[in-house]
């Protein structure tokens, strides 16, 4: 079962400047996550708008049959990207998607916004 990191590529932090910044903060974070995820068992994708503008930069960690998480308020940095990918790898290794707090990378602590239960297999 594949764990996906979905990155909002339209996210802009409050200090983003259209006159001086050629990429959105989301695009910068997405590129850093894509680099950090090379040679791992997680996949990445970009979407335009996770609708968490007050929490930018936003990502989601998801896999079929597992808990899904939305995280935000990240800096568009390599350190944030490394922590996100490390957490996603732990999510992938977990049967339920839940990762014990003691295993969370420091870079993702304080960034959780929502947790969603898996979609039921049947009605």
pLDDT by residue (tens digit) across 49-84? 999 888 889 999 999 999 999 999 999 999 999 999
Q: Does 122 fall in a domain?
A: no
The domain that contains 104 carries what CATH number?
3.40.30
Q: Does 123 fall in a domain?
A: no
pLDDT at 14 over 90: no
Q: What is the pLDDT of residues 24-33, one digit of tens each?
A: 999 999 999 9
Q: How many domains, in total, are found in the chain?
A: 1
Q: Does 96 fall in a domain?
A: yes
Q: Which domain holds residue 71?
A: 3-116
Q: Is the dihedral of CA 74, 108, 85, 48 positive or negative?
A: negative
For residues 80 and 31, give the distance between their C-alpha atoms in angstroms, rounded to a whole number: 12
Q: Does 73 fall in a domain?
A: yes
Q: Does 9 fall in a domain?
A: yes
Confidence of residue 39 (pLDDT cuts 50, 70, 90): very high
Q: Does 74 fall in a domain?
A: yes
Q: Does 84 fall in a domain?
A: yes
pLDDT at 41 over 90: yes
The pLDDT assigned to 56 comes to 85
Q: Does 121 fall in a domain?
A: no
> Strands of 3-8's sheet, edge to edge?
42-47, 3-8, 59-62, 68-71, 112-116
């Amino acid at each position: 079962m594949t764990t996906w990191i979905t990155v909002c590529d339209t996210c802009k932090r409050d200090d983003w400047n259209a006159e001086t910044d050629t990429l959105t903060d989301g695009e910068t974070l997405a590129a850093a996550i894509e680099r950090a995820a090379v040679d791992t068992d997680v996949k990445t994708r970009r979407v335009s708008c996770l609708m968490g503008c007050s929490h930018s930069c936003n990502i989601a960690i998801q896999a079929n049959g597992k808990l899904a998480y939305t995280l935000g308020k990240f800096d568009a940095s390599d350190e944030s990207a490394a922590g996100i990918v490390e957490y996603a790898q732990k999510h992938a290794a977990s049967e339920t998607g839940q990762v014990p707090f003691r295993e969370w990378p420091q870079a993702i602590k304080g960034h959780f916004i929502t947790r969603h239960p898996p979609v039921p297999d049947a009605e």
